[in-house]
């Protein structure tokens, strides 16, 4: 009986960990989902924007001690939230001067050719950010120091790491805030309209390039917040973006490419898969489990859980 009990405890422990990690993954995926949904652009640099968010939070909290006055519990959270606007501006500028050259109204008709350029351009940005990060930040892994990451709440026999739990709560709050923004404000509605049908949105007078610029900034900014939250409980280095790109795409595809809120559930599921795979698979293979799930989704249900098929001949 005891054995069964511990098996169940292990199971629920992994599930709890998956849920907590999944919350931040979900937020991260929402950021990517907005960009893909609105712009139909596969942003390869997305993981690297998350990395920028991590370092932004890191330097805000520890580097210059700007937020030190807030104390070791509040500072990391404020740092993560502030990473959002910082990366928003970076994304906004990169879109204005680089990405808009190969996306938006001017390439809406040239479908296949357009994709080509977009994927390559964002790959180039990814390389510059990751390696530029290496030059600027160095290769030594760092993390946002806080006592939270060493403390846990215990509910029954299950431990909830405080850093992750708080990250989870903030992520959920951000996602809800975003949901309200998308459903209640005119700008949010315009973005959703552009996501649903970019061409029709252009016809009814939505400025596509402006929506794209905001969507891109917003998308990378939200992911940066998620990155800042992860930075509390995990160490990172400038190359971390590559590891997360697949995680994020798995989530977005699972939720249904183009469905912004579906992306949240997709990310949450990926977090669960990643943590629960450790029950049956060796620790090193937890990312392989994600890739396998990703491939399975892509093959059997490419439209995802919430997506639709909109292909036309």
Partner 1 sequence: MKRQSLLQQYAAIAIFAVAFLAVGFAVRNSYYQLMMTLVLIWATMGLGWNMLSGYSGLISFGHAAFFGLGAYTVTIAFVKFGITPWIGVPLGTIVGMIAGVLIGIPTFRLRGHYFALAMLAYPLAMLYVFEWLGYQEVSLPMKRENPAAYMQFNDQRAYMVITMVVVVICMIISLHVERSRFGRSLLAIKQNLPAAEAAGINAARWRMYAMMLSAAMAAAAGGIYAVILLVVTPLTVFGALTSAQALIVTLFGGVGTFWGPIIGSAILIPLAETLHAELGHILPGIQGVVYGVAIIVIILVAPDGIYWKVRDRIMARRTLPPLPEPTPAVETASIAADTPRPAFGAPILELDDVSRAFGGLKAVEGVTLSVPEGTIYGIIGPNGAGKTTLFNVLNGFLTADRGTMRFAGQEIGKLKPHEVCARGVGRTFQVVRSFPRMTVLENVVIGAFVGSKTDDEAERLAMEALARVGMADHQAHMLAGGLTTRQLRLMELARALAPKPRLLLLDETLAGLGQNELDDVLPVIRRVNREGVTIVIIEHTMHAMVRLADHFSVLDHGRLIASGAPADVTRNPAVIEAYLGKKWMDRAKDQVA
Under rule CB under 8 A, residue 139 binds partner 1 = yes
User: From the list 257, 268, 270, 273, which residue makes contact with partner 1 (rule: CB under 8 A)?
Assistant: 257
**x-marked contacts with partner 1 along 220-249 as a string, rule CB under 8 A:** ------------------x---x--xx--x
Using CB under 8 A as the binding rule, whether residue 49 contacts partner 1 is answered as no
- Residue 168 CB, shortest distance to partner 1, in Å, is 26
Q: CB-based burial of residue 268 (10 Å sphere; 0-12 exposed, 13-18 middle, 19+ buried)?
A: buried
Q: Hunting for tokens 């995990």 — which residue is that?
A: 234
Q: 185, 248, 256: which is closest to 219 by C-alpha?
A: 248
Residue 90 makes CB contacts below 8 A (sequence gap 6+) with 49, 52, 220
Strand partners, 236: 142
Binding to partner 1 (CB under 8 A): which residues in 89-118? 98, 101-102, 112, 115-117
Pick 11 or 291: Cβ nearer partner 1: 291
Choose the binding region for partner 1 from 188-196, 208-216, 262-270, 284-292 (rule: CB under 8 A).
284-292
Nearer to partner 1, 48 or 265 (CB): 48
User: Footprint of partner 1 on this chain (CB under 8 A)?
Assistant: 42, 98, 101-102, 112, 115-117, 119-121, 123-135, 138-139, 238, 242, 245-246, 249, 253, 257, 282, 284-285, 287-288, 291-292, 294-295, 298-299, 302, 313
């Amino acid at each position: 009986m005891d054995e069964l009990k511990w098996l169940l405890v292990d199971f629920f422990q992994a599930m709890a960990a998956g849920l907590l990690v999944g919350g931040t993954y979900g937020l991260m995926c929402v950021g990517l989902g907005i960009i893909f949904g609105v712009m139909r652009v596969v942003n390869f640099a997305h993981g690297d924007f998350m990395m920028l968010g991590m370092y932004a939070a890191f330097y805000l909290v520890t580097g210059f001690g700007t937020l030190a006055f807030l104390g070791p519990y509040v500072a990391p959270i404020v740092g993560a939230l502030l990473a959002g606007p910082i990366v928003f501006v970076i994304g906004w500028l990169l879109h204005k001067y680089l990405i808009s050259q190969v996306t938006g109204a001017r390439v809406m008709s040239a479908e296949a050719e357009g994709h080509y350029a977009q994927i390559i351009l964002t790959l180039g940005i990814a390389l510059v950010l990751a390696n530029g990060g290496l030059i600027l930040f160095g290769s030594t892994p760092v993390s946002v120091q806080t006592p939270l990451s060493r403390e846990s709440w215990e509910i029954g026999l299950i431990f909830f790491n405080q850093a992750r739990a708080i990250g989870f709560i903030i992520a959920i709050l951000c996602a809800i805030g975003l949901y309200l923004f998308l459903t209640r404000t005119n700008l949010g509605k315009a973005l959703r309209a552009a996501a649903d049908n970019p061409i029709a949105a252009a016809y009814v007078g939505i400025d596509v390039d402006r929506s794209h610029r905001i969507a891109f900034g917003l998308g990378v900014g939200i992911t940066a917040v998620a990155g800042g939250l992860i930075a509390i409980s995990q160490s990172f280095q400038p190359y971390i973006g590559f590891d997360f790109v697949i995680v994020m795409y798995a989530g977005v595809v699972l939720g249904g490419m183009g469905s912004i809120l579906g992306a949240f559930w997709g990310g949450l599921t990926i977090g669960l898969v990643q943590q629960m795979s450790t029950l049956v698979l060796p620790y090193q293979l937890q990312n392989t489990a994600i890739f396998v799930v990703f491939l399975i989704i892509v093959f059997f249900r490419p439209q995802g859980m919430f997506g639709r098929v909109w292909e036309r001949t």
